[in-house]
Structure 1
Amino acid sequence: MLNSFKRDDYAMISMMVFSNNEQKVVGRKDRGVEVPSDFRGKRVGVTKGSSGHYFISLFLTTHGLALSDVELVDFKATELPQALADGKVDAISTWEPHIRKAKKLLGKNAIEFLEPDIFRTDFYFVVKKDFAKNHPEVLKRFLKAMKKAETFIGSNREVTTAIVSERLTIDRELVVSMWPDYSYQLLLDQSILVALENEARWAIKNKLTDKTQIPNYLNFIYPAALEAIKPEAVTIIR
């Protein structure tokens, strides 16, 4: 989303996977973190400008708090589990597999907070606009192949998780445990626009950009290829 304030030469041709439960918060019980109200005055590790940063803002708002009620500490996502284990922060807000790594490091001292209804994490296929304009048939062939993959994933969970584990060098047991949190499907729905606009407002409010106007995110979506391959998946209002 932040890149949309800097450049407009790219477009999304489809979502490929989404999750309503990828973003989570993990705290240390020995730092007095037991319920959401305990976050007031605590140090929370995030990756500045990331979905984890945005999620902690939504999480706090949901529970009557604000970002100003906590002290945010910036870390790379891969550093967050160890930062929590080392006591550099009282809690972290991030995504998988870092959440599970943090819980493993803390053991019984970990407490996890889930809020599956406040944020959907989306992953997209993105191309340069010039490429989309000059090679529309290539995009259609690509999405046709991805549609076959979508069907394969839905019908072959055991094989698919094995492939993901091998290709990403992630423990198979971890992949299997995370799998139900993700939905693999080609999609361009209205929620994409709503989410991007909300995130852009948040970024402006929290001075993550020097821009003051929200981009028109319809200009960042190229629906023609998906409409040709899977028309029922395109429900964006234009």
Structure 2
Amino acid sequence: MPPLLVRCLGLLLLALHVHTAHAAEVVRVATSKNILSFPVVVAHEKGFFARHGIVVDRQDCVSGARCMVEMFEGRVDLATAADLPIALNGLRRNDFAILATFVTSNRDLKILVDSNAGISSLKDLVNTRVAYVRGTASQYFLDTMLIYNGIDPNRVERVPLGVEEASAALRDGRVQAVSLWEPHISRLRLAKGEQVRLLSTQRVYLETFNLLAPRDFIERHAEQIPAILRAIDEAIQFINTNPREALALLAQRLDVPVAVLSDIFGDYHYRLSLSKSLPRTLDSQVRWAIASGEVSAGVTPPNFLKFIEPRFLRLVRPSAVTLP
């Protein structure tokens, strides 16, 4: 074989090897073990990522805040998180971006109280012990509900605990109430029965759950990100058109009965979006964090529009982007 032809074939084989290695590169994704992150789970377990040429290693976290820690410390490439951890981290760093919101809910967060504590309204929380998870939407939701109802949060003994510790504290009687998200609320209700009850709260906080990535990952994997979003979009379509199968999968994942999940599944609105309301929500959360003393009063709020990367979602679903 002529030397020139041998050289050309060698270069071709090398190029094919490099392309195959790039295509097979594993994308590590951290998903919070809740109802909100379900589309990413479905995209993985039903093979939608694989259909779009994305090899995913999915890892569960106890919360979106923890997923972000995993991302910042380099153990995963993508994270799922609610808006509050995004706002708080945005005060400290700017090396990450929001690729898409994939679900919204104004009923995921709830306040569950001890039925024997004499608590029938939010105003009865004054001088009681209420557990929450610091740095998560649980904390923001609790303060928002108190302030909206004219209650100074400082009149409530707010107890910061981990997710499992907060649940245990209510079970053991160490607190009279908890502010948590699903499925932890449903698990507590199953375990305690009539010994606990939901407190009525207004639907004034629309929580979002979002897909996040470090900026260096975005630049190195710009060709893959539209495929990742398409896979999640297909997962959302699967959830919305196959609710029975979706509920069965979710129940198995969360170890909560289908009958319990079916009562709350309608509280979650799965769709890809990047809404003009998202940066406003993040701005409001920063103002709350400063006013509450969660962060220093001297902190300068960032421009959260710069934390949103809409170019990929515009390729997948142009109408889903309503940013200014």
Please tell me the TM-score bracket, short chain as reference.
over 0.9
Q: Which deviates further from its counterpart, 90-99 or 125-134?
A: 125-134
Which of 97, 100, 106 does residue 14 from structure 1 map onto? 100
Residues in 2 aligned to 1:166 and 1:30: alpha-carbon distance in whole angstroms = 32
Pairing 1:31-46 to 2, within 5 Å after superposition: 31-46=117-132
Larger radius of gyration between Structure 1 and Structure 2:
2
Counterpart of 1:231?
318
Aligned residues of 1:15 and 1:125 also touching (Cα < 8 A)? yes
Query: Could you say if the C-alpha distance between residues 166 and 98 of structure 1 is closer, same or farther in structure 2, counting changes exceeding 3 Å?
Result: closer
Across the aligned residues of Structure 1 and Structure 2, the Cα RMSD in angstroms comes to: 1.7
Query: Could you say if the C-alpha distance between residues 153 and 82 of structure 1 is closer, same or farther in structure 2, counting changes exceeding 3 Å?
Result: same
Per-residue displacement from partner, 1:186-231 (whole Å, max 9, x unpaired)?
Answer: 0100221111111111112222223521121111110000011101
Which of 154, 157, 182 does residue 240 from structure 2 map onto? 154
Give the AA of the match of 1:5. Answer: L
Unaligned runs of 5+ residues in structure 2 are 1-86
Deviation at 1:170, TM superposition (A): 4.2
Counterpart of 2:159?
73
Aligned residues of 1:44 and 1:89 also touching (Cα < 8 A)? yes
Pairing 1:69-108 to 2, within 5 Å after superposition: 69-108=155-194
Aligned residues of 2:183 and 2:254 also touching (Cα < 8 A)? no
Unaligned runs of 5+ residues in structure 1 are none
Aligned residues of 2:104 and 2:209 also touching (Cα < 8 A)? yes
Aligned residues of 2:96 and 2:307 also touching (Cα < 8 A)? yes
Provide the secondary structure at the position in 1 that maps to 2:319: helix
Give the AA of the match of 1:232. Answer: S
Residues in 2 aligned to 1:226 and 1:121: alpha-carbon distance in whole angstroms = 20
Deviation at 1:120, TM superposition (A): 1.6
Pairing 1:195-210 to 2, within 5 Å after superposition: 195-210=281-296
Provide the secondary structure at the position in 2 that maps to 1:21: coil
Counterpart of 2:203?
117
Aligned residues of 1:34 and 1:111 also touching (Cα < 8 A)? no
Deviation at 1:171, TM superposition (A): 3.7
Aligned residues of 1:80 and 1:98 also touching (Cα < 8 A)? no
Provide the secondary structure at the position in 2 that maps to 1:151: helix
Residues in 1 aligned to 2:107 and 2:164: alpha-carbon distance in whole angstroms = 19
Counterpart of 1:61?
147
Q: Which deviates further from its counterpart, 164-173 or 201-210?
A: 164-173
Identical-pair percentage? 30
TM-score by length of 1: 0.92
Give the AA of the match of 2:306. Answer: N
Task: Report the count of equivalent residues.
Answer: 237
Deviation at 1:11, TM superposition (A): 0.6
Give the AA of the match of 1:131. Answer: F
TM-score by length of 2: 0.69
Pairing 1:209-220 to 2, within 5 Å after superposition: 209-210=295-296, 212-220=299-307
Q: Which deviates further from its counterpart, 125-134 or 72-81?
A: 125-134
Give the AA of the match of 1:184. Answer: Y
Aligned residues of 1:21 and 1:114 also touching (Cα < 8 A)? no
Q: Which has the higher contact order (CA 8 A, sep 6+)?
A: 1
